[in-house]
Chains A and B, each alone.
Chain A
Amino acid sequence: MKENKIPAGELSQKWSTYKSTCKLVNPANKRNIDIIVVGTGLAGASAAATLAELGYKVKTFCFQDSGRRAHSIAAQGGINAAKNYQNDGDSVFRLFYDTIKGGDYRAREGNVHRLAEVSGNIIDQCVAQGVPFAREYGGLLSNRSFGGTQVQRTFYAAGQTGQQLLLGAYSAQMRQVSLGNIKEHNRHEMLDLVIIDGKARGIIARNLVTGEIERHGAHAVLLCTGGYGNVFFLSTNAMGSNVTAAWKAHKKGAYFGNPCFTQIHPTCIPVSGDHQSKLTLMSESLRNDGRIWVPKKAGDTRKPGDIPEEERDYYLERRYPAFGNLVPRDVASRAAKERCDAGFGVGASKMAVYLDYASAIIRYGKTECSKQGIANADDATIKRLGKQVVKEKYGNLFDMYAKITGEDPYEVPMRIYPAVHYTMGGLWVDYELMTTVPGLYALGEANFSDHGANRLGASALMQGLADGYFVIPYTIGNFLADEIRTPRIDTNHAAFAEAEKAVQDRVQHFISNKGTKSVDHYHKLLGKIMWDKCGMARNKQGLQEAIQEIRALREEFWKEVKVPGVANGFNPELDKAGRVADFLELGELMCMDALNREESCGGHFREEHQTEDGEALRHDDQFMYVACWENKGNHQWELHKEDLKYDVIHPSQRNYK
């Protein structure tokens, strides 16, 4: 197994030691070095802008029509930082500890501590860029709490934190475009990685408007391409989110880490029918004030308002009194599934639970009455004022719910159900964020590194920006310092020609295939297999079946898929075909990984491994490792193990009770 390059020394000193001893590239040399950044979400935009500020020549790629549209934009709730502005006992160590624990002890101490260390700098940088965070009347930054923690360390901008952070990073990126340090390639999709003499030296990309296949060379390639939740077809990801870039890198030698670690988010709007194309998240921040419940009686068909208080089961508060509705996501999701499977679900499909704001509205209303000096306020006044407060905090989320469901969440409790949201797994990277391919880096959700088996809320934004703004600018220099004698990469090299030919052949296959079924047809079938057998609960038999089913589906896909339109023009069906082809390979690997991991941890729940009261049961003696899968071609993989060493934290069974 490749060395993870965690610096020696005391945990809290590792990153500063690294920063003061890593190799540097002088400004004149930086100007002659090209870096490709694929993906322009938080990780990609922050990395592209920062590297360009340092003087490197950067090329960015994204499949959307503008860098600003990457799916980071949809993150709602917030971003964590160990600022301790609330004086409630937060610290770098506590953020580090919560993240490791939240990840069910399957993340690296060194990486996570670094993440906690730079978290405060991220907030400072974003404020300096003019990101309009929520503020208190005194003019200072506001915080709220999120799942899995007992302090208030989450910074936010209404329910649009991802949007504001991404637009901040995008503005920095646009500034570098105007200065000529970044060259953008929008509506482009990376379709292969080019390796020369063992190092990543470029990519093959398709111009999605003209269909042209292009060669782009660089001294290093950064994949900031997000997660692969769309392997489930239905997820909270954007329609275009895909694994293709990471998968191509995997097939060219980059190991894939913990592919089965998927986060199922507890608060999403339930599926309404077969036509469903994606699922919409309702921010975890709603669990701050909302109370989750189901009727105590199975199959209760009464309207929620007709069910009296004593006949409701606030099951999270019952099972987890210490954290209540703010348990981590994996715990909350499984608890919802448990209630629905047991017949207590609500709504037409019976696959939903209530998220109720009635008591929060009363609570806020009373505070507001007291603030405004209204003595003996009647119920209507309390409710009216309470609704105003809730509207200010969560208005956009409530509006979204109303538009999608046609119901008014201020009056009727929302119905929610878990949905695929984030993938903790991803390309294996070392401490420098380099994959097993020299010169190839993976940042943000695309890598596996910081969240272990379960990510805490408001930590994805933190990690994406930490990687882009504060980690890669240092670590990439350590590699590029030895590349200053490498001239601009020649795209006439045979490796480019070979990769380009493979891409062209594949495109041609899709276009000329005389199939009968659409790409979505196969994507939906794959999604169903994954959700049923590699979703919130997994078992040996199901996973073995899933592997066989995926193989058969993949074979049929290549024979029977029908892609209309042309290769040399705008053709979204063709784009989708390539992505689904890769999902059909990834799905198999995810099931293999889930099958191999004979334990339950975080988002990975193997039914065979649970405690008496249904909690996840880890087996640290056997599985305290990162599963790193090496692609051997022809759908064969070899497992390598990176052992996880805990020097500071003593892993224990997570307890949120």
Chain B
Amino acid sequence: MEHKNINLNLKVWRQKNNQDAGHFETYKAENISTEMSFLEMFDVLNEKLIKEGQEPVAFDHDCREGICGMCSMYINGRAHGPWQGTTTCQLHMRAFSEGETVTVEPWRAGAFPVIKDLVVDRSAFDRIQQAGGYVSVNTGNAVDGNALPINKDNADAAFAAAACIGCGACVAACKNSSAMLFTSAKVSQYSLLPQGEPERKTRVLNMIAQMDKEGFGACTNTGACEAECPKEISIANIARLNREYLAAQFSL
């Protein structure tokens, strides 16, 4: 692959802590190889800031291979930036052109308070999972794995929903800051599988209740979540969640 070096203007959100009002700072990123990942470009910026005696930009990241769900930058008005189905860590600099101004913000949602700079608190997702995102089966209870055949279509659909990495891009992209795509992916995974059947109704009710309690907004079917999801989780999961929710309400 041919590569070259480019220069960028970065407008980065800086915020000392969750009490601070925060503001944009402008930095020059020079001689950036188009082979770099977006986060490697931030490594270069931070190395420069440290040398100059400034505090580096704090951002969340860990696996840098698109699966841990830790990275979370809002780039030029899009969660995880311009590439479809891609996390920030897998976005590469060949997506940008010479002289471009790139704006980088944290996820913005009431339920995701900023911790510092581009780092937000997503523990609300853990609490939604705690409300029912599991099968109540203690270790040692299981029967033989093949004693429970599951038709391939359902298994595949459950997997596609379970591929959610819990990054929160759906919330960041949504004008209502709704967590419906995240919640529906988990509910769908279990409602498509026989293992999820015994707790099917309580699960959906409890997870929705927790989601509301955390202060996430309502879903108005705009579809921004699906468009920005790095794992391309389908909005059909939200439709399934709604069906599950209705069925559970009427029958309890």
Q: Are B126 and A66 in contact (CB under 8 A)?
A: yes
Instruction: Decide if B90 is an interface residue (CB 8 Å cutoff).
Output: yes
B: residues with CB less than 8 A from A are 1, 3, 17, 33, 35-37, 39-40, 43-44, 47, 49-51, 53-56, 58, 60-70, 83, 85-86, 90-92, 94, 115-116, 119, 121-123, 125-126, 129-131, 133-146, 148-152, 155-156, 158-159, 162-163, 165-166, 189-190, 193, 195-196
Contacts of B49 in A (CB 8 A): 564
Chain B residue with Cβ nearest A569: B17
Q: Are A130 and B68 in contact (CB under 8 A)?
A: no
Within the assembled complex, what's the spacing in Å between the Cα atoms of A65 and B163? Answer: 19
Instruction: Decide if A398 is an interface residue (CB 8 Å cutoff).
Output: no
Which residue of A74, A177, A273 contacts B65 across the interface (Cβ within 8 Å)?
A74
A373-404 contacts to B, CB under 8 A, are 399-400, 403-404
- For A44-85 the 0/1 string (1 means CB < 8 A from B) is 001001100100000000001111111101100000000101
Within the assembled complex, what's the spacing in Å between the Cα atoms of A73 and B87? Answer: 15
Chain A residue with Cβ nearest B159: A132
Contacts of A184 in B (CB 8 A): 126
Q: A83-B146, A178-B130 are known contacts; what are 14 more A-B pairs with Cβ within 8 Å?
A: A66-B166, A73-B68, A127-B145, A129-B137, A132-B162, A133-B155, A171-B134, A239-B64, A273-B33, A276-B40, A277-B64, A280-B64, A403-B66, A470-B139
Instruction: Decide if A605 is an interface residue (CB 8 Å cutoff).
Output: no
Q: Are A400 and B60 in contact (CB under 8 A)?
A: no
Top 3 closest A-B pairs, CB basis?
A139-B149, A128-B142, A171-B134
Q: Are B66 and A400 in contact (CB under 8 A)?
A: yes
Q: Are B60 and A569 in contact (CB under 8 A)?
A: no
Instruction: Decide if A650 is an interface residue (CB 8 Å cutoff).
Output: no
Within the assembled complex, what's the spacing in Å between the Cα atoms of A565 and B116? Answer: 12
Closest Cβ of chain B to A60, distance in Å, is 11
**Partner-contacting stretch, out of A155-163, A311-319, A356-364, A585-593:** A155-163
Instruction: Decide if A654 is an interface residue (CB 8 Å cutoff).
Output: no
Within the assembled complex, what's the spacing in Å between the Cα atoms of A135 and B49? Answer: 50
Name 16 interchain pairs, CB-CB below 8 A, sorted by A: A67-B126, A69-B63, A125-B140, A125-B142, A126-B145, A130-B193, A135-B152, A138-B149, A157-B162, A164-B159, A171-B133, A470-B139, A518-B51, A564-B55, A573-B50, A573-B56
Within the assembled complex, what's the spacing in Å between the Cα atoms of A137 and B154? Answer: 11
Contacts of A64 in B (CB 8 A): 62, 68, 70
Within the assembled complex, what's the spacing in Å between the Cα atoms of A125 and B125? Answer: 24
Within the assembled complex, what's the spacing in Å between the Cα atoms of A152 and B180? Answer: 39
Q: Are A277 and B1 in contact (CB under 8 A)?
A: no
Within the assembled complex, what's the spacing in Å between the Cα atoms of A139 and B154? Answer: 9
Q: Are A50 and B139 in contact (CB under 8 A)?
A: yes
Closest Cβ of chain A to B45, distance in Å, is 11
Within the assembled complex, what's the spacing in Å between the Cα atoms of A416 and B85? Answer: 24
Chain A residue with Cβ nearest B86: A403
In this complex, which of A64, A85, A120 has the most chain B Cβ atoms within 10 angstroms of its Cβ? A64
Contacts of B149 in A (CB 8 A): 138-140
Contacts of B50 in A (CB 8 A): 518, 562, 564, 573
Within the assembled complex, what's the spacing in Å between the Cα atoms of A209 and B125? Answer: 18
Known A171-B134, A175-B130, A400-B65: A565·B55 in contact at CB below 8 Å = yes
Within the assembled complex, what's the spacing in Å between the Cα atoms of A184 and B69? Answer: 19
Which residue of B121, B139, B145 contacts A49 across the interface (Cβ within 8 Å)?
B139
Contacts of B64 in A (CB 8 A): 238-239, 277-278, 280
Which residue of B17, B39, B70, B196 contacts A69 across the interface (Cβ within 8 Å)?
B70
Contacts of A406 in B (CB 8 A): 1, 92, 94
Closest Cβ of chain A to B162, distance in Å, is 5
Contacts of B67 in A (CB 8 A): 73-74, 160, 162-163
Instruction: Decide if A644 is an interface residue (CB 8 Å cutoff).
Output: no
Which residue of B44, B51, B58, B140 contacts A275 across the interface (Cβ within 8 Å)?
B44
- For A282-307 the 0/1 string (1 means CB < 8 A from B) is 00000000000000000000000000
Q: Are A273 and B36 in contact (CB under 8 A)?
A: yes
Contacts of A138 in B (CB 8 A): 149
Within the assembled complex, what's the spacing in Å between the Cα atoms of A276 and B141? Answer: 46
Which residue of A177, A236, A520 contacts B130 across the interface (Cβ within 8 Å)?
A177
Which residue of A67, A129, A132 contacts B134 across the interface (Cβ within 8 Å)?
A129
Contacts of B43 in A (CB 8 A): 275, 277, 520
Within the assembled complex, what's the spacing in Å between the Cα atoms of A318 and B123? Answer: 53
Q: Are B145 and A123 in contact (CB under 8 A)?
A: yes
Q: Are B138 and A53 in contact (CB under 8 A)?
A: yes
Within the assembled complex, what's the spacing in Å between the Cα atoms of A203 and B63? Answer: 26
Contacts of B158 in A (CB 8 A): 130, 132
Which residue of A68, A127, A178, A404 contacts B69 across the interface (Cβ within 8 Å)?
A68
Within the assembled complex, what's the spacing in Å between the Cα atoms of A571 and B3? Answer: 34
Chain B residue with Cβ nearest A71: B63
Instruction: Decide if A405 is an interface residue (CB 8 Å cutoff).
Output: yes
Q: Are A71 and B159 in contact (CB under 8 A)?
A: no
Instruction: Decide if A172 is an interface residue (CB 8 Å cutoff).
Output: yes
Within the assembled complex, what's the spacing in Å between the Cα atoms of A570 and B119? Answer: 10
Instruction: Decide if A186 is an interface residue (CB 8 Å cutoff).
Output: yes
Chain A residue with Cβ nearest B54: A564
Q: Are B116 and A570 in contact (CB under 8 A)?
A: yes
Within the assembled complex, what's the spacing in Å between the Cα atoms of A562 and B52? Answer: 11
Closest Cβ of chain B to A48, distance in Å, is 11
Instruction: Decide if A407 is an interface residue (CB 8 Å cutoff).
Output: yes
Q: Are A172 and B66 in contact (CB under 8 A)?
A: no
Instruction: Decide if A167 is an interface residue (CB 8 Å cutoff).
Output: yes
Chain B residue with Cβ nearest A137: B152
Q: Are B195 and A127 in contact (CB under 8 A)?
A: yes
Within the assembled complex, what's the spacing in Å between the Cα atoms of A178 and B66? Answer: 28
Known A73-B68, A127-B142, A406-B94: A66·B150 in contact at CB below 8 Å = no
Contacts of A276 in B (CB 8 A): 40
Within the assembled complex, what's the spacing in Å between the Cα atoms of A450 and B157? Answer: 35
Contacts of A134 in B (CB 8 A): 155, 159
Contacts of B159 in A (CB 8 A): 132, 134, 157-158, 164
Q: Are B163 and A163 in contact (CB under 8 A)?
A: yes
Contacts of B119 in A (CB 8 A): 570
Known A171-B134, A406-B1: A66·B139 in contact at CB below 8 Å = no
Q: Are B122 and A164 in contact (CB under 8 A)?
A: no
Contacts of A128 in B (CB 8 A): 135, 137, 141-143, 195
- For A639-652 the 0/1 string (1 means CB < 8 A from B) is 00000000000000
Closest Cβ of chain A to B1, distance in Å, is 4
Contacts of A74 in B (CB 8 A): 63, 65, 67-68
Contacts of B134 in A (CB 8 A): 129, 171-172, 174-175
Closest Cβ of chain B to A359, distance in Å, is 24
Instruction: Decide if A124 is an interface residue (CB 8 Å cutoff).
Output: yes
Instruction: Decide if A321 is an interface residue (CB 8 Å cutoff).
Output: no
Q: Are A239 and B163 in contact (CB under 8 A)?
A: no
Which residue of A68, A71, A125, A132 contacts B139 across the interface (Cβ within 8 Å)?
A125
Contacts of B156 in A (CB 8 A): 132, 135
Instruction: Decide if A478 is an interface residue (CB 8 Å cutoff).
Output: no
Known A275-B44, A573-B50: A403·B92 in contact at CB below 8 Å = yes
Within the assembled complex, what's the spacing in Å between the Cα atoms of A405 and B37? Answer: 10
Instruction: Decide if A136 is an interface residue (CB 8 Å cutoff).
Output: yes
Closest Cβ of chain B to A367, distance in Å, is 18
Within the assembled complex, what's the spacing in Å between the Cα atoms of A50 and B139? Answer: 6
Within the assembled complex, what's the spacing in Å between the Cα atoms of A128 and B67? Answer: 23
Closest Cβ of chain B to A95, distance in Å, is 16
Chain A residue with Cβ nearest B120: A65
Contacts of B69 in A (CB 8 A): 68-69
Contacts of A53 in B (CB 8 A): 138-139
Q: Are B135 and A130 in contact (CB under 8 A)?
A: yes
Chain A residue with Cβ nearest B144: A124
Q: Are A66 and B125 in contact (CB under 8 A)?
A: yes
